[in-house]
Amino acid sequence: MMTMNAILAVALGLTPVNYSDAPQTIRVDEAQAAKQVGHYVQSVDSKGRTRLSGFDRRSGSPYEVTVDQSGNVQGTVGPWYVTFKVEAAS
C-alpha cells in the first residue's frame, strides 16, 4: 500500500491522476509528497480505519481523509468529496 503522504498527495490533488474508473499506476516521490503535504494528524478509529486530518497548504482548507484496511480512501478536502482505492503495484 502507498504511504499516507502519497495517499494525501493524491487526495489533495498534488499528484496528477486521471478521473476514471480504470485502474491507474501512480508514482509518487515520497520525499516531495511529504514536503507538499506538510503536517497532519493521524489516528486509528475503533474499526481499524486510519484517519488523516489537517489543512491543505495551498488553500488553507481543512481535510479529513479515512483509509480502511482494504485500501478504500474517502473523505473531504475543503468543499470536495474524494474517494479512491489504493493497492500495491504488482
With helix as H, strand as E and coil as C, how does the chain read?
CCCHHHHHHHHCCCCCCCCCCCCCCCCCCHHHHHHHHCCEEEEECCCCCEEEEEECCCCCCEEEEEECCCCEEEEEECCEEEEEECCCCC
pLDDT in tens, 25-52: 888 888 888 889 999 999 999 999 999 9
Residue 40, sorted as left (phi over 0), alpha (psi -120 to 50) or beta, turns out to be beta
* 90 has a pLDDT exceeding 80: no
CA distance 34 to 6: 8
Q: What is the pLDDT of residue 64?
A: 97
Indicate whether this model's pTM tops 0.75: yes
pLDDT in tens, 61-85: 999 999 999 999 999 999 999 999 9
Q: What is the pLDDT of residue 68?
A: 95
CA distance 40 to 36: 11
Q: What is the pLDDT of residue 80?
A: 93
